[in-house]
A and B are shown apart, each in its own frame.
Chain A
Amino acid sequence: MNGDDNPFERYELDPHEGPRGITERMRELAEDAADDAERARIRAAWEELTVHVDRRVRAALLAHPESRAPLGAAPPPPRVPGDALTPRDLELADLVGLPPIAEVLGLPAGAEDDDEPDFLARDPILSPPAPSR
């Protein structure tokens, strides 16, 4: 097999998923294939990867390993604007205690603790289900 057109990379397959996972993924690909030629290519790749474990191991090792951060999650390490290597230095402003929000909003002290936020209470999703009859 030509490692330059590696099926694990071409079809974005995870070699850790094993024959079952690979088969499921390739079935999906075959269903979505535009034509019979593409389906035949997918089938050939599926056979190559599932018939013999040694071939699958070889193809997997000759593919680039998956080193990209998964989509939908934070990439490690967190991106720091500016200097990428060191966390942002603390500044004097970071050490100053912030005033209470109620004071900033001109409310009486402790108002934000006493008053239950109405929008949460009215939210139907957060409300307990009504007892069934």
Chain B
Amino acid sequence: MTLSGAGEIFDAVLFRPEDEALLQRLEDEEVFARLVRRHMASSGGRAPEPRPRAAGMIAAAAATPAGKAARDRAVAGDLEPLAALVETESPSNLSPELAHHVAVHFGRVARSVPESAFDVAVTAHERSLAAWLTLGAEARYLARLMTEIRGDEGGPSGPASGAAAGERFAVERIDEVAWIAESAAPTLGRAGAAALAALSRVPAICERLPSERLARRARARAESRRAQAIDLALEPVREAVAEATTRDLPPRERGERLVKAILVWAWAGHDALVEHFVVEQLVPIAWEVYRASQWEVLRALLAPFVPCVDSLAARIERDPIGGVAYAATCGDVLMFEAEAETTLDRQIAIAERLLRVCPTHRNGRLVLAAYLCDKATRIADQPFIGDAAAREADALVDRAEALYPASKSLEAARAAIARARAMYRPPLFWRPGS
């Protein structure tokens, strides 16, 4: 027999209010245990034994008519409406008391799931932070609780300082999540990756907050703590590369040490901070190889970093103003990539992208002009070129000249086109005036 079934029988016979209170507690504990199992289920983890007081979340949910209906359906076996209520993206729709339960509950779920349950942990962290920040924005609830708990032991006095203390407490929950990320940074643990991912969602949470002041504080705190955690993860790589440089190790070995940054990049959810670190560290190593014209070594050096550099280039293409600080450095790496390529078309494609990332990149303009001249020369050197091909070669040289007027390749390209014109005279191949 279910608890609700038992309740109906007692209702019909003899049921005192205190019996009703006890029955509701038992039902709430049973529903809460099912809710915890639901939130832990996809993680493959084992749900921690909930304390009885935690089941007060169900009672708090039932304080509104909709919540009471959801609770009754949960008691009858259908957990969905209740789950939808507490899993809301907008905790501001909940009562402060229920939002408090939600914040505590999902915080514990996030810390309880196994490391493999990345998505479950991220979502739980996000829901917990959203609820805490909503409480911080509401301010009165946390301030009242603080005042009541402090009693005559002092603390914030007056609504303004109480609200500020509530806000501060809510923002400190970001620090707790950041602490998980920082603790996992040396080993690149998955729990830390989930915490970092949750911190990256704080700006989205802040968009739904009614308090712009709190939103600004929360965004800034999340951003700085994320950067701190990522910096901690990068620290061993930075030290390893610096040590290799001090010992004057060959570029290949220094590059191998830098490759560990790619693991940090994956751990940090492909964060721009790691991409900045990679290009800054990679450029001096690559310059050394480039100057020595060791193309094979350059190709091998750059290969592991291509996705990371691609990501940074795409980021700068999407937001040129925001990415201006790293455009030139990213352009340097793209130039090395272009120079290490083995086909002219790929070289041109990469160099074109380089100039989209950093239009004023001097070496980028220089190498693209050279590639274009090279392509024009190849066209002109083909036997029996047609009018369209000749025009294409002319256009390539014109563009190369516009990009880099002092390019030494221009002269050779124009000479090749002139030879082609002399060899294949009109009217057979050239139209008059072409």
Interface flags, B130-158, vs A, CB<8A=1, else 0? 00000000000010011011110111000
Query: In the bound complex, do residue B20 and residue A64 qualify as a contact, i.e. CB atoms below 8 Å apart?
Result: no
Determine the distance from Cα of A18 to Cα of B145 in the docked complex, in whole angstroms. 12
| A6 vs B111: C-alpha distance when bound (angstroms) | 14
Interface size counted on chain B using CB atoms at 8 A:
47
**A12 smallest CB distance to B (angstroms):** 7
List, in ascending order, chain B residues with CB within 8 A of A121's CB.
none
Complex Cα distance, B108 from A63, in Å, reads 10
Residues 7-19 of chain A, each 1 if its beta carbon lies under 8 Å from chain B, else 0:
0111010011011
Please determine whether A64 and B56 come into contact, CB atoms closer than 8 angstroms.
yes
In the complex, the answer to whether B112 meets A4 with C-beta atoms within 8 Å is yes
Partner of B104, one of A62, A70, A79: A62
Contact: B25 with A71, CB < 8 Å?
yes
CB atoms of A79 and B20 under 8 A apart: yes
Inter-chain contacts of B401 with A (CB < 8 A): none
- Measured CB to CB, the residues of A under 8 A from B are 3-4, 6, 8-10, 12, 15-16, 18-19, 53, 56-58, 60-75, 77-79, 81, 84-85
**B65-73, B185-193, B408-416, B422-430: which one contacts chain A?**
B65-73
Q: Give Cα A70 to B25, complex, Å.
A: 9
| Assembly CA distance A71 to B18 (angstroms) | 6
Q: A9-B54, A67-B97, A69-B24 are in contact. Are A57 and B105 (CB under 8 A)?
A: no
CB closest residue in chain B, given A60:
B149
Q: Tell me the complex Cα distance, A16–B145, Å.
A: 9
Q: Is B48 part of the contact surface with A, judged by Cβ < 8 Å?
A: yes
Q: A64-B104, A68-B28 are known contacts. Are A74 and B17 too (CB-CB below 8 A)?
A: yes
Q: Give bound CA distance, A6 to B153, whole Å.
A: 22
The contact sample of 19 A-B pairs, CB cut-off 8 A, is A15-B149, A16-B151, A19-B153, A60-B145, A61-B146, A67-B57, A67-B63, A67-B97, A67-B101, A68-B53, A71-B18, A71-B21, A71-B25, A74-B21, A75-B59, A78-B20, A84-B72, A85-B68, A85-B69
Cβ 8 A contact of B54, one of A16, A57, A58, A64: A64
- Which 6 pairs from chain A and chain B are nearest by CB? A74-B17, A67-B56, A9-B51, A67-B60, A84-B72, A75-B21
A77 to B107, CA, bound (A): 29
Chain B residues whose C-beta falls within 8 Å of the C-beta of A10 in the assembled complex: 51
B-chain residues with CB within 8 Å of residue A71 when the two chains form the complex: 18, 21-22, 25
* Residue from the list A8, A57, A75 in contact with B20, Cβ < 8 A: A75
